[in-house]
Amino acid sequence: MSWKDSYNILLTGHTIWTVIMMIKSLFLHQTLLKRLLILGFAMNSMVFAEQRATIIFDAEMPIVNDTKNGNYAQLASVIDQYRKIDANTFFIFGGESLGPSMLSTIDRGAHIIDILNSLQPSVMGISKRELSHQEDELILRTYEASFPIVSSNLYDPLTHRPPEGIQTHVILKKGAMKLGFISVLNPDVIVKYPTNRIEVTSPEKAIIKAVIELKAQGANLIVLHYSVFMPIFDRLLEQGTLDLTLHKDQHFKVGTYQGLPHHPHNIIIKDKTHAAVIQLSWQQSNPQKSLKIKHSEIDLTTVAPKTSVLQQETEYSHRLNTLLGEVLGKTTTPIDLRRETLRTAENGFADLVADTLKQFTGAELSLINSGSLRSDTVFPEDTILTRKDIRAMMPYRNTLKLIELTGQKITAALEHGLSGIDSISGQYLQISGIKIKYDATRPAGTRLLLVTLNNKPLNPTKTYKVATLDYLLNGGDGYTMLINSKELNHQQNSNFTLSDLMAEKVQQLNVISPKTDGRIIDISTMN
């Protein structure tokens, strides 16, 4: 073999090796390229993939085993159904349920928390009626709950923090989803539900502060729950500060906000029997701008109850019936305690209550707010009345007070009561010992025309003995003119509540026939 042949063979071998290495290199590059392309596609898919979540929202459920308006067992069935469909299902409860109810007067709403624990809420927002039993009882409920309880604008001036056990905001996590949650109260809530210590700060400032903190923690979307409608919520939705707001108010149509337009992401449930189902979808790359919301409502009364929760509710109902099932008497006339009639005019049963309070304390006159009487129903004539019925009519543990008031302050209180007619507010006063004439068509603050006691005009400078409730004496419902009034000893049990008083009265009389007698006259309704 010549050197040329040897060289050619060597060259050929080298060429083949080179080619092999080039092919291998190319293959590796192609594999890497493919992997990069696959990774790129995956990342792109992640960016543009549609994310989904479901929110179940409800509130205003103070009564357990409520067959009329829907109960917790029926709500539990709805929640279970959607949790099976969508793993990213959040159950948000809007409160308004720790009072008022008959059982809550006994355990301050502890049974509601117990039942909610069975439903496993993602979070609970605080509404005004969570303050029905003062802040100390609310704090106790937070430690009984297996879920976070949130209020973003409750403030304790002594600790410079929210009340113990209450969080200002939370992030709710499901998979890659981080849902920021905020809940606010209207500062006016402490007018109707006076607190011993805590304050309610500006909702807007609290929201903005919470949003900043939630976004810093990586929240994808921000959800607000509120207990009283304010126009700022729509504005914050429009600005993109909030992504979704939730509210339930069966009386929304009759409020001062009637007819106001609201943002499509401001979900308001107006039917007491309904729960909301809110389905969210968005692009991970830009949740706020790509957010789509589908909202529907479910009538709980049409849903089969969850057996285990229904058993819980039944046990509580049985316990209540055992405690309060005693028959006290009957009524031969209807007792109309509907909200619209009780808070806009003289009421026959309220007359009986006010008369009984006046007699019990030895006062010259008595003043009670219509909001202290509840049930929002009509008891027909010949209804047998039990202790449970009386407790349902007066679920708050209002104690009885005898105070001194000048005629001027009595007049101011009456005028304040009349200013609540337009909004059907519970501040409307029911009275005994005096008669009043007013004109509902006149502007608030100028409606009271005449007040008489024993057929004589009330003397503005004279001091009178007035029977009332501790709630009003503490400034509840805006009755600030009664704060710091001189208290008198009426020689009766100081722990006696209004429901205790009326239970004793009905039992004593056995038969009652409540009716009006013309002590409150609106001249605008006279022909």
pLDDT at position 60 over 80:
yes
Dump pLDDT digits (tens) for 455-483: 999 999 999 999 999 999 999 999 999 99
Query: What was the pLDDT predicted at 29?
Result: 53
Dump pLDDT digits (tens) for 383-442: 999 999 999 999 888 899 999 999 999 999 999 999 999 889 999 999 999 999 999 999
Q: How confident is the model at residue 260 (pLDDT cuts 50, 70, 90)?
A: low
What distance in Å separates the CA atoms of residue 496 and residue 153, rounded to the nearest whole number? Answer: 34
What distance in Å separates the CA atoms of residue 61 and residue 104, rounded to the nearest whole number? Answer: 12
Query: What was the pLDDT predicted at 287?
Result: 81
Q: What CATH class is the domain 49-316?
A: alpha beta
Closest C-alpha to 492, from 338, 379, 357:
357
Kindly list the distances between the CA atom of residue 183 and the CA atoms of 13, 153, 179, 260, 367, in Å, as whole numbers in the listed order: 79, 8, 13, 22, 35
> Rounded to 5 degrees, what angle do the CA atoms 348, 378, 250 make?
115
Q: At 337, which helix (H) or strand (E)?
A: none
Query: What was the pLDDT predicted at 321?
Result: 86
- Residue labelled with tokens 């389905």: 279
DSSP string, 186-249: -TTHHHHS--SS-EE--HHHHHHHHHHHHHHTT-SEEEEEESS--THHHHHHHHTS-SEEEEE-
Q: How confident is the model at residue 251 (pLDDT cuts 50, 70, 90)?
A: confident
CB 414 within 8 A of CB 451: yes
Pairing mode, if any, of strands 123-125 and 149-150? parallel
Dump pLDDT digits (tens) for 306-359: 999 999 999 999 988 888 899 999 999 999 999 999 999 999 999 999 999 999
Dump pLDDT digits (tens) for 137-186: 999 999 999 999 999 999 999 888 999 999 999 999 988 889 999 999 99
Query: What was the pLDDT predicted at 175?
Result: 81
Q: How confident is the model at residue 258 (pLDDT cuts 50, 70, 90)?
A: low
Kindly list the distances between the CA atom of residue 175 and the CA atoms of 51, 88, 272, in Å, as whole numbers in the listed order: 10, 7, 32
Q: How confident is the model at residue 201 (pLDDT cuts 50, 70, 90)?
A: very high
What distance in Å separates the CA atoms of residue 85 and residue 78, rounded to the nearest whole number? Answer: 11
What distance in Å separates the CA atoms of residue 226 and residue 185, rounded to the nearest whole number? Answer: 6
Task: Give φ, ψ of 445 to 5 degrees.
Answer: 95, -10
Query: What was the pLDDT predicted at 469?
Result: 96
Closest C-alpha to 418, from 515, 467, 335, 346:
346
Q: Count of CB atoms within 10 A of residue 323's CB? A: 14
Pairing mode, if any, of strands 199-200 and 154-155? antiparallel
What is the CATH code of the structural domain delimited by 328-525?
3.90.780.10
pLDDT at position 43 over 60:
no
Closest C-alpha to 111, from 122, 101, 121:
101
Rounded to the nearest 10°, the torsion over CA 346, 347, 353, 357 is 0
CB 170 within 8 A of CB 150: yes
Instruction: Read off the pTM.
Output: 0.78
399 secondary structure, DSSP code: B
- Residue labelled with tokens 């900043």: 212
Crossing angle for the helix pair 203-216 and 232-239, nearest 10 degrees? 30
* Percent of the chain residues past pLDDT 90, beyond the cut: 72
Query: What was the pLDDT predicted at 106?
Result: 87
Q: How confident is the model at residue 47 (pLDDT cuts 50, 70, 90)?
A: very low
Pairing mode, if any, of strands 50-58 and 274-283? antiparallel
Closest C-alpha to 451, from 432, 437, 462, 461:
437
Kindly list the distances between the CA atom of residue 379 and the CA atoms of 32, 41, 367, 497, in Å, as whole numbers in the listed order: 81, 68, 24, 22
Kindly list the distances between the CA atom of residue 369 and the CA atoms of 263, 343, 417, 430, in Å, as whole numbers in the listed order: 35, 9, 8, 6
Query: What was the pLDDT predicted at 151?
Result: 97
* Range of weakest confidence among 28-42, 283-297, 450-464: 28-42
In the chain, CATH 3.60.21.10 covers 49-316
Q: State the average pLDDT over residues 279-290.
A: 86
pLDDT at position 229 over 50:
yes
pLDDT at position 100 over 50:
yes
In the chain, CATH 3.90.780.10 covers 328-525
Q: Count of CB atoms within 10 A of residue 34's CB? A: 10
- Residue labelled with tokens 């409860």: 93
Query: What was the pLDDT predicted at 494?
Result: 65
Query: What was the pLDDT predicted at 176?
Result: 80
Query: What was the pLDDT predicted at 124?
Result: 98
What distance in Å separates the CA atoms of residue 235 and residue 245, rounded to the nearest whole number? Answer: 11
pLDDT at position 45 over 50:
no
Q: State the average pLDDT over residues 120-127.
A: 97
pLDDT at position 104 over 80:
yes
- Residue labelled with tokens 């055992």: 322
Closest C-alpha to 115, from 162, 165, 65, 55:
65
Closest C-alpha to 124, from 227, 237, 258:
227
Q: At 52, which helix (H) or strand (E)?
A: strand 50-58
Q: How confident is the model at residue 8 (pLDDT cuts 50, 70, 90)?
A: very low
Query: Average pLDDT of the chain?
Result: 89
Q: How confident is the model at residue 16 (pLDDT cuts 50, 70, 90)?
A: very low
Q: At 45, which helix (H) or strand (E)?
A: helix 3-48
pLDDT at position 253 over 90:
no
DSSP string, 62-86: -STT-TTT--HHHHHHHHHHHHHH-
pLDDT at position 10 over 50:
no
What distance in Å separates the CA atoms of residue 240 and residue 244, rounded to the nearest whole number? Answer: 10
